[in-house]
Chains A and B, each alone.
Chain A
Amino acid sequence: MPIRTVYQATIEHTQILDERGVLDPALSKPGTPGILTDEQVLHLYERMLEARAVDERAFVLQRSNRMYTYPQNKGQEAAALGSGFAMRRGTDWIVPCYRENAAMVMHGMPWHHIYLHWMGDERGNVVPPGVRVMPIAVPIGTQMLHATGIAWAAKLRREDAVVITYFGDGATSEGDFHEALNFAATFGVPAIFFCQNNQWAISVPRETQTASETIAQKGLGYGAACQQVDGNDLFAVHKAVYDARERARAGGGVTIIEAMTYRLGDHTTADDARRYRDQAEVEAWQARDPILRTRVYLESKGLWDAQRQRAGEERAKAFATEVVRAAEGIAPPKPEEMFDHLYAEMPPELRLQRDTKRTSSLGQDPSQAGLRSEPQRA
């Protein structure tokens, strides 16, 4: 047999809760591992409302010069919350990029720290003790390698921890994605590569990013388990990540999950997506808004109604106000704090520069010690 097939694969797309808010009966049988209970859905729905309110408030803050650039998460709440909820807080690791705020918060990152970060303050990346959420990563793709290293360390230390890392469709064109996935699969580490395919990398559409039919299939080349899910379906996202987590814990290695979703807002507040996106496309995705879909489901089960919605939205708005208050209540860092945390212990020459600063050249000169003028306070 001179020619034979040496490899064959298919990529599955899973949807459990459809656009009309109807659950697939076969895929959602009660007791199926990873299928959300009504109580869990209610809990997550409230978190969705909070996430949306905080997100929309951030946009308003930025427009009134109270926040620096901010990347809206709007429309991707099911992907963030469904995936985050499938990971174990304090045990598993969240290695984010910047469009999964709700997942970070679910694992212990305070909301107001996320605001603080985007207000231009690195102290926003500080997490409370025991929280396993890494800093927001903006260079595109670098965090996937860190996630792989964390997962590899967990495996080496025989600890029951799984790592999930987030990235967009655009990041899959970066070398880091390929190197990370290759390492993760080759070393068999407990990691989940969660792609939020929101169809646009700033102005570059998904088709221009890659000729590959799916993002998920990119995992095949590395020997990873691959799956595509409806990213606006809370049930499908949760189930896929839950299964990947259990596979990783059982020694099954890495999974890549492509969550098909849509960035309803702009790339960041520095962008205006109306200049390059078709309004009809945006409207079609607005109809598939994950919040709307989850709400319809809850209403069909008699667990939610218009009155509860009004109350929920009010609560979420009040919550966002509290987040603003907490973030703006933190005093800006003092100039001399610029030198902190560069090294584990501040080297003498850096201390000298801090203490003598008039110009950086004089700051290097020990004879100038004590000449520093009082720092200007804001």
Chain B
Amino acid sequence: MATRQIQFREALREAMAEEMRRDDRVFLMGEEVAYYNGAYKVSQGMLEEFGDKRIIDAPISENGFAGLAVGAAMYGLRPIIEFMSWSFSLVAADQLLNNVPKMLYMSGGQWGCPVVFRGNNGAGGQLGSTHSWCVEALYANVPGLKIAIPSNAHDAKGLLKSAIRDDDPVFFLESERMLSDKGEVPEGEYTVPFGRAELRTEGTDCTVVSFGRPVNFCVEAARELEKEGVTVDVLDMRTVRPLDIGAVVRSIKKTGRVVVVDQCWPFASVASEVITQVCERAFDSLDHQPLRVNTDDVPTPYAKTLEAEYLPHKGKIVQAVKAALHRL
């Protein structure tokens, strides 16, 4: 299939627009999504194409539009809710965690909640600790949700299309830091399925597991390590619920070592979960204890220098892989 280079944000927009053309039940609601074309211009031009019945500016009321989406989904619509930042989703926690994932369960399978909640997630833009939330660890704990977290434009489009078609609620985590990044995206129709990790680099010495933006740092680290004769499998999980633990285990059976890279805090993070499951399923294949690279266990610092040090980056990943190989 022919491809072209487009931005991450354009990939998101194409996914939404294509699905809205395909299914008139789909609509987009959020703060600034219509007349302003989105705070980060993800929905640029969508109001013009779809009109104000389907591209809707909401009052500043996250709990409000999260709950409204639940009701609209019950009536058979397919809402896409944009959080300007997932940091702002915290005020909607009761709807997001206490209603959305349980609606189907508590109604004996009658009232599903096929809503996509999407927006920027994670630190890196010097936004200070209240606007830099990385929510996957917090939300992945809750059964009934699906969580997608793409690392590039291709997956952003394919995963978002899958998310919109999914009959369950999907939390779709983007990164403001990646919205302008360009990537190869096919011209034609495609989707990326949930629960299938993708191998970004292939090697034999160590398995490096990540998801979202840090996958790109893992690939950089892999290139650096290659210069020293170390090759690694970089596995891009793409969704953390469902989690393709089978792909992780298969890789570890080959490499015997694992480093998990996660842009959330370490305590009870997705990295913790991956490592627990690795120990449950592949303990005998490990030649070194599993390692993880998370952020430091402090609120996201505001200062540029501190924030850069706080986040996972190439240097930390290279160091962790070397530690796993006893090469430090």
Contacts and interface: CB of A to CB of B under 8 A. Distances in A.
A135 B280 contact: no
Contact of A175 (B63, B72, B108, B243): B63
Interface stretch (B98-106, B181-189, B296-304): B98-106
A347 interface: yes
Contacts of A365: 280-281
A156 B67 CA distance: 17
A139 B107 contact: no
Contact of A149 (B59, B73, B144, B195): B73
Nearest to A146: B71
Interface stretch (B109-117, B127-135, B172-180, B256-264): B109-117
Contacts of A134: 74, 107, 111
Interface string A341-376: 111110111000000000001101111000000000
10 contacts: A139-B99, A153-B72, A176-B64, A341-B107, A342-B105, A343-B104, A343-B144, A344-B112, A364-B280, A366-B281
A239 B327 CA distance: 81
A142 interface: yes
Given A135-B103, A145-B67, 6 more contacts: A122-B108, A145-B64, A146-B99, A150-B71, A157-B75, A344-B166
B208 to A, nearest CB: 22
B53 A341 contact: no
A340 B60 CA distance: 36
Nearest to B53: A156
A126 interface: yes
A268 interface: no
Contacts of B110: 125-127
A223 to B, nearest CB: 12
B250 to A, nearest CB: 12
Contact of B109 (A145, A156, A340): A340
Contacts of A156: 27, 53, 72, 77
Contacts of B66: 145
A145 B277 contact: no
Contacts of B68: 145-146, 148-149, 152, 180, 183
Nearest to A163: B71
A183 B277 contact: no
B108 A139 contact: no
B303 to A, nearest CB: 33
Contacts of B64: 145, 148, 176, 179-180, 182-183
Contacts of A149: 67-75
Nearest to A153: B75
A9 to B, nearest CB: 22
A342 B71 contact: no
Interface string A124-143: 01110000001100010010
A154 interface: yes
A125 B65 contact: no
A219 to B, nearest CB: 16
B104 A342 contact: yes
Chain A interface size band reads 35 or more
Nearest to B169: A343
A151 interface: yes
For the complex of A and B, the 7 pairs showing the least CB-CB separation, nearest first, are A149-B71, A145-B67, A179-B64, A344-B167, A153-B75, A341-B109, A146-B71
A63 interface: no
The secondary-structure label for the interface of chain A is helix
B147 to A, nearest CB: 13
Interface centre among B68, B277, B280 (most CB of A within 10 A): B68
Contacts of B99: 139, 142, 146
A135 B106 contact: yes
Contact of A341 (B67, B70, B105): B105
B95 interface: yes
Contacts of B277: 364
A325 interface: no
B167 A146 contact: no
Contacts of A151: 71
B28 to A, nearest CB: 13
Given A148-B71, A361-B280, A349 B59 contact: no
B196 to A, nearest CB: 12
B229 interface: no
A57 to B, nearest CB: 24
Interface in A251-294: none
A340 B105 CA distance: 7
Contacts of A142: 67, 94-95, 98-99
Nearest to B69: A149
A127 B277 CA distance: 39
Given A153-B76, A344-B168, A135 B71 contact: no
A210 interface: no
A153 B99 CA distance: 18
A123 interface: yes
B61 A183 contact: yes
Contacts of B105: 122, 341-342
Nearest to A367: B281
A240 interface: no
Contacts of B112: 344
Contact of B61 (A157, A179, A361): A179
A179 B74 contact: no
B75 A154 contact: yes
A144 B61 CA distance: 14
A95 B111 CA distance: 13
B93 to A, nearest CB: 11
B318 to A, nearest CB: 31
A324 interface: no
A259 to B, nearest CB: 23
Contacts of B58: 183
Chain A CB within 10 Å, residue with most, of B61, B75, B144, B167: B75
Interface in B226-281: 242-243, 245, 277, 280-281
A365 B277 CA distance: 8
Nearest to A333: B108
Contact of A148 (B67, B168, B242): B67
Nearest to A186: B59
A140 to B, nearest CB: 10
